[in-house]
């Protein structure tokens, strides 16, 4: 049995909707349905009345819900204990975050957080957006740090995945100064993110704003690494939409210039409400205070 099947089932028991739970769990509805069916096959019992709307639990499903809730709670608690023990007893908080945020926003903010919480160890993994969502919903990390703009939905909703707005950035189109004359005539060569990437979706929104330059695709970064795209822009390969925090130094130094209106973005911190051990709750309370401080400056 796969442990995430239990969390899938508990989500469905809460929402009574396959589509809703699939979105919350960050998977397609068909994949989610297969996982629920696999759990039923493993148990040898029907857990759901699929003919009803909304979906309801069978008597076996109601009994198993209690078992699943207790199992998930105990496994998460024991895992936290083992991890703390492996670190010599030092408490640890874990973050999964978009690559660019781990090199721009996170270092300074995390120092402030530790100052508010006290001495804790931290673990950070940079990842792409989809993997970040999956890792948070599967319970592998305490917190998820991401950008947010209304044009791109984030499949993490309260109360299962509450969030805080802890900062701001903007997506800015930059290119090396001294652009060739044919760029104005034929359009600017675009450095493009891979299909379906999170920053790529935000970039398409930014490209649709009034004042955005005419572009044509000249290069696609299949890994959608913002840092690599910045290097390409500095060398004069074309225009790319990047988080301003990532390119601020190059803009100030004159190695890059802004060529289009910026797209404002929030910086959000999400947590998995199922991971409710004492340290996580204490860190979240400190993050809330930092978020309040940030809101007062806006």
Q: Report the 3 state secondary structure along 47-79.
A: CEECCCCCCEECHHHHHHHHHHHHHHHHHHHHH
The number of folded domains in the chain is 3
Same-domain status, 53 and 93: no
Residues 77 and 93 in one domain: no
Instruction: Report whether 265 contacts 170 (CB < 8 A).
Output: yes
Q: What domain range is 220 assigned to?
A: 169-265
Q: Along the 298 residues of the chain, how does pLDDT read in single tens digits?
A: 788 899 999 989 988 889 988 888 888 889 999 999 999 999 999 999 988 888 999 999 999 998 888 888 778 766 766 666 565 656 788 999 999 999 999 999 999 999 999 888 898 999 989 889 988 888 778 999 999 999 999 999 888 899 999 999 999 999 999 888 888 788 999 999 988 889 999 999 999 999 998 999 999 988 788 999 999 999 999 999 999 999 999 999 999 999 999 999 999 999 988 876 678 888 999 999 999 999 988 7
244-253 vs 226-234: helix axis angle to the nearest 10? 20
Q: Which pLDDT value is given to residue 171? A: 97
The structure tokens listed for 18 are 């396959």
Give the max Cα distance, the chain.
Answer: 73
What pLDDT does 234 receive?
A: 95
Distance (Å, rounded) from C-alpha 147 to C-alpha 102?
A: 12
For residue 273, what are its two tokens? 């409400």
**176, 258: one domain:** yes
Are residues 128 and 146 located together in one domain of the fold? yes
Are the C-beta atoms of 187 and 215 separated by less than 8 Å? yes
Of 84, 99, 122, the residue that ends a domain is: 84
Q: Select from 50, 121, 49, 46 the least CA-distant residue to 91.
A: 121
Q: HSE-up of 112 (CA within 13 Å, CB side)?
A: 15
Whether 15 and 69 map to the same domain: the answer is yes
Dihedral angle over CA of 211, 217, 222, 223, nearest 10: -30
Per-residue b or e along 84-110, where b marks 16 or more CB atoms closer than 10 Å to that residue's CB: beeeeeebebbbbbbbbbbbbbbeebb
The predicted structure's pLDDT at residue 159: 87
Tell whether 177 and 240 lie within a shared domain: yes
Host H or E run for residue 1: none
Model pLDDT for residues 185-222, shown as the tens digit of each residue: 889 999 999 888 899 999 999 999 999 989 999 999 88
**What tokens appear for 266 in the block?**
């929030």
CA-wise closest residue to 282 among 93, 123, 76: 93
| Claim to verify: residue 143 and residue 216 sit in the same structural domain | no
pTM of the model: 0.72
Q: 25 and 101 share a domain?
A: no
| Neighbouring residues of 102: CB distance < 8 A, sequence distance ≥ 6 | 124, 126, 145
Residue 122 belongs to domain with CATH number: 3.40.190.10
Same domain, 61 and 121: no
Question: Residue 35 sits in a domain of what CATH number?
Answer: 1.10.10.10
Structural contact between residues 24 and 157, judged by C-beta atoms closer than 8 angstroms: yes
Q: Tokens standing for 197?
A: 């990437």
Of 50, 84, 118, the last residue of a domain is 84
């Amino acid at each position: 049995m796969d442990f995430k099947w239990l969390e899938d089932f508990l989500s469905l028991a809460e929402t009574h909707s396959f589509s809703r739970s699939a979105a919350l769990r960050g998977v397609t509805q068909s994949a989610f349905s297969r996982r629920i069916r696999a759990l039923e096959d493993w148990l040898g019992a029907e857990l759901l009345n699929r003919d009803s709307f909304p979906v309801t639990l069978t008597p076996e499903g109601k009994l198993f819900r209690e078992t699943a809730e207790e199992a998930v709670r105990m496994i998460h608690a024991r895992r936290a204990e083992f991890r703390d023990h492996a670190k010599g007893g030092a408490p640890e908080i874990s973050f999964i975050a978009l690559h660019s945020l781990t090199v721009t926003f996170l270092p300074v903010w995390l120092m402030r957080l530790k100052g508010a919480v006290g001495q804790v160890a931290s673990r950070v993994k940079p990842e792409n957006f989809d993997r970040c969502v999956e890792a948070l919903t599967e319970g592998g990390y305490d917190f998820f740090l991401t950008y947010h703009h209304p044009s791109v939905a984030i499949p993490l909703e309260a109360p299962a995945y509450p969030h805080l707005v802890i900062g701001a950035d903007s997506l800015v189109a930059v290119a090396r100064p001294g652009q060739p004359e044919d760029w104005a005539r034929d359009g600017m060569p675009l450095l493009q993110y891979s299909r379906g990437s999170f920053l790529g979706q935000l970039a398409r929104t930014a490209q649709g704003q009034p004042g955005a330059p005419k572009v044509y695709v000249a290069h696609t970064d299949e890994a959608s690494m913002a840092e690599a795209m910045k290097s390409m822009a500095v060398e004069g390969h074309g225009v790319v939409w990047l988080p301003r925090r990532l390119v601020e130094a190059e803009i100030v130094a004159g190695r890059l210039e802004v060529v289009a209106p910026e797209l404002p973005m929030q910086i959000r911190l999400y947590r998995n409400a199922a991971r409710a051990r004492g340290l996580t709750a204490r860190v979240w309370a400190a993050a809330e205070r930092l978020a309040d401080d940030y809101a007062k400056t806006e």
